[in-house]
Amino acid sequence: MPDMVDLASLAERRSYKWRAFPSDVLPAFVAEMDFLLPSCVREALHQAVDTGDCGYASASQLAEAFASFASERHRWEVDPARVFLLPDVMTGVDEVLGVLTGPGDGVIVNTPIYPPFLRHVANLGRRLVEVPLRHEAARWELDLEATAAAFAGGARAYLLCNPHNPTGRVLSRSELERIAELAQRFGAVVVSDEIHAPLTLAGSVHTPYVAVGQLAADHGVTLTSTSKAFNLAGLKCAVMVAGSEPMRRRLASLPEATAFRAGLLGVIASVAAWRDGGPWLDGLLEHLATVRRDMADLLARHLPQVGYDPPEAGYLAWLDCRRLGLGDDPSAAFLERGRVALGHGPDFGPPGAGFARVTMGTSREILAEIVERMASACQHA
């Protein structure tokens, strides 16, 4: 189990999560966790600061550390020569789509989706092609027929989110194989954001997209980092992995300046996490499996009208609040009347109306407090 931090100490944190709202609001809106870092990461960061090792970032050691982590955790053999340094995953989305697609090209996203996907695709001057997930038999499912139609309609890229934020769905190998066939048939590229993959929980298996076969490797790029699984988002370090040698050559045209925007402390922390953070991560996964169950119990007790499919990966709960009668953005009422800040459903695209997202990467006590505050907002309605 990761070391917990009490609420008084969390309130002293200077991260976005703890500064965005007044102090009487309990924040659970952003994907940041409330634990101490693994000791291997803390030691590596202390060592860097104590020895003045704070210059520009160099990717040395990072590619090898990622390759060994990918092999151990996901049985994915990565050639370190195909690993590029980035400051963060969303910079990777911008750069990769910038190189691999042209103005006006269609980019498929599966709504509801991590809101920056929608903004970045639009800001890049690409055309958003929404293929909503379907909710069937208590599970969020890809709509492969609609995906085929989107490619047939001219989409040139698929910005995949696997595991999916906000639903926590882990896509199966056969679903990914089907996407690979379609993308290849229509000459499209697939950019796979796998930032939540190390957080895949017991009962599910993460399959890296570019590892499903030669087709996917040929047209695929993976983006990932330690920022979600090890809570290092503020240190600015991520990687992009080209699935194949031809794709590596296409990505080699990215500006050198992109890698220099990464932070050296992020590289140092990520190397330590990927090399030595496995036991800590295992403890975290056990805790997340507990809070995932707690969420179901808490909702059953306090808010039985809310729909919740426990995530297969990660620490995000995508809550269907439509039966509470709080309108399109229930997070507004939870904030105003319950003093708890959740993710706004409509930000995740049109299918997010009536939903809210809760960050469960916290202690069991704080999770209980989050749900109790949500319930109190409904009593005050």
Residue numbers of the site for ligand PLP (CB under 6 A)? 31, 88-90, 114, 161, 165, 193, 195, 225, 227-228, 233, 238
Shortest separation between residue 191's beta carbon and ligand PLP, angstroms: 11
Nearer to ligand PLP, 114 or 355 (CB): 114
Q: Which two tokens stand for residue 114?
A: 């991590």
Give min distance, CB of 359 to ligand PLP, in A: 9
Q: How far is the CB of 93 from ligand PLP (least distance, A)?
A: 8
Strand partners, 341: 27
Residue 234: which of 52, 14, 53, 85 has the closest Cα?
Answer: 14
CB 105 to ligand PLP: min, Å = 21
By beta-carbon proximity to ligand PLP, the closer residue of 40 and 113 is 113
Query: 31 or 188, CB closer to ligand PLP?
Result: 31
In whole angstroms, the minimum distance from the beta carbon of 345 to ligand PLP comes to: 15
| Distance separating alpha carbons of residues 229 and 285, to the nearest angstrom | 9
Residues in a beta bridge with 319: 308, 356
Give the nearest distance from C-beta 246 to ligand PLP in angstroms. Answer: 25
Smaller CB separation from ligand PLP, 76 or 114: 114
Comparing CB distances to ligand PLP, the nearer of 66 and 114 is 114
Lookup result for tokens 């800590």:
280
Structure-token pair, residue 248: 């590596």
* Strand 189-193 to 220-225 pairing: parallel
Closer by beta carbon to ligand PLP, 192 or else 326:
192
Asked if 163 contacts 314 with a C-beta cutoff of 8 angstroms, the reply is yes
Q: Could you tell me which of 222, 161, 211, 156 has the C-alpha nearest to residue 189?
A: 156
Q: From the CB of 258, what's the least distance to ligand PLP, in Å? A: 13
3-state secondary structure of 258: helix
Given the complex with ligand PLP, which of 88 and 105 has the nearer CB atom?
Answer: 88
CB of 334 to ligand PLP, least distance (A): 20
Bridge-based pairing of strands 189-193 and 155-161 is parallel
Q: Which amino acid is at 204?
A: S
Phi, psi of 223 (to 5 degrees): -120, 135
Report the C-alpha gap between 231 and 35 in whole angstroms: 8
Q: Where are the beta strands (DSSP E) in the chain?
A: 26-27, 83-86, 106-109, 127-130, 134-136, 139-141, 155-161, 189-193, 220-225, 238-242, 307-308, 316-320, 340-341, 343-344, 355-359
Q: Nearer Cβ to ligand PLP, position 90 or 259?
A: 90
